Amino acid sequence: MLQEKIEQIKKDFSIEISNINNDKQLEELRVKYFSKNGLVASLFILLKDANKDEKPQLGKVLNTLRSELQNQFNIVREQVSKSESSKNINVDLSLPGLERNVGSKHILTQTLDEIKSIFKGMGFSVFEGPELESDYNNFEALNFPPDHPARDMQDTFFISDEFVLRTHTSPVQIRLMKEQKPPVRAIMPGRVYRNEAVSSRSYCMFHQVEGLYVDTDVTFAELKGTLASFAKQFYGNNLKFRFRPSFFPFTEPSAEMDITCFICNGAGCKICKHTGWLEILGCGMVDPNVFDNVNYDNEKYTGYAFGMGIERIAMLKYGIKDIRVFFENDYRFLKQF
């Protein structure tokens, strides 16, 4: 009886162990055969009931069986542990690594960096002012009459009677001139706010770069030369541009600078409203009243100022048709730059 069982277990074990491939199966086999309640232990229990004469002989057989199975088990365990660890080493080292997403500067920051570097090359320094601005600096000191439409609730975010979110970077001109005596030559970048309906062309918040140069004998020709040089460095040497008379309360005379439409190359299309031209900035000679407001001698000094929208000039350079994409942080847009 016992002898038969021994043979059976031996057979089963050799079949089962030949099918072992991994640690989990190995452990299951160990529990089945070698644990306290396993098959090998059950044979030793049966031994107790065996015939007295046969006992020593059967005991020997059982011990041999146990060490035989144990030996086979150990050999297979060795093989499994080798193949398990070789699985880990078995990687193709020539495969490319996992791609990491590397961030980059926002396109507006890149554009501003480029503007700064061009103007620094022409002798301008960088000066900044706050986004929360006094009504006085934003309007009055810039020669806006009290009933000027730009002061209207439509355009300005009023914080109180006295303070507004600046609607342009021009109030930084006032701060700069109050702080420094002429000659001054600086650009003033920053965020501005306008209470306008959000659309593909306008947003309630955007960025401008202001420029100001005040000295004795500054002329409109210098203004044109400086802005032409900027535009060519920024958009390329083949650029065509023109200056068109305009009006701003704080400059006299005033002008706007246009460049040829990047879509139709001047032929006329929807984007340029069939004029062939796109406006990129406002500019002019500093109004003598503004000099009065900052205690600059307007008999002695002249100056020019200009202001451009950073979104706008980036849109024209890169063919971006909707201003809102700058502020949505859509990764698909950002990663193109």
Interaction between residue 13 and ligand PHE (CB under 6 A): no
CB of 174 to ligand PHE, least distance (A): 12
Which listed residue (111, 226, 251, 302) binds ligand PHE by CB under 6 A? 251
Of all residues in this chain, which one has the CB nearest to ligand PHE in the complex?
307
Residue 294 to residue 174: CA distance in whole angstroms: 7
Type of residue numbered 104 = S
The one-letter amino acid code at 22 reads N
- Which part of the chain contacts ligand PHE (CB under 6 A), choosing from 48-56, 158-166, 198-206, 303-311? 303-311
Stretch that binds ligand PHE, among 54-62, 86-94, 300-308, 325-333 (CB under 6 A): 300-308
Contact status: 218 vs ligand PHE (CB under 6 A): no
Q: Provide the 10 A C-beta neighbour count for residue 321.
A: 10
Contact letters for ligand PHE, residues 170-209 (x by CB under 6 A): x---------------------------------------
Strands 277-286 and 302-309: antiparallel
Residue 2 tokens, joined: 């016992």
Tokens of residue 203, six digits: 């947003």
Backbone angles phi, psi at 32, to 5 degrees: -60, -40
Q: Rounded to whole angstroms, what are the CA distances from 301 to 124, 183, 198, 286, 295?
A: 18, 9, 40, 10, 11
DSSP for residue 164: E
Among 166, 168, 185, 312, binds ligand PHE (CB under 6 A): 168
User: Looking at beta carbons only, is 107 or 172 nearer to ligand PHE?
Assistant: 172
CA distances from 176 to 6, 144, 171 (A): 102, 18, 9
Minimum CB distance to ligand PHE, residue 308 (Å)? 8
Q: Please, which residue, 133 or 210, has the CB nearer to ligand PHE?
A: 210
The Cα–Cα gap between 171 and 194 comes to 15
Asked if 305 interacts with ligand PHE (CB under 6 A), we say yes
Binding of ligand PHE by 129 (CB under 6 A):
no
CB of 100 to ligand PHE, least distance (A): 41
Strands (E) across the chain are located at 125-126, 132-134, 163-165, 184-193, 205-215, 241-248, 251-260, 277-286, 302-309
Q: How far apart are CA 145 and CA 124, in angstroms?
A: 30
Instruction: In angstroms, give the least distance from the CB of 171 to ligand PHE.
Output: 9
Q: Which of 33, 124, 127, 248 binds ligand PHE (CB under 6 A)?
A: 248
Sites of contact with ligand PHE (CB under 6 A): 168, 170, 210, 248, 251, 282-284, 305-307
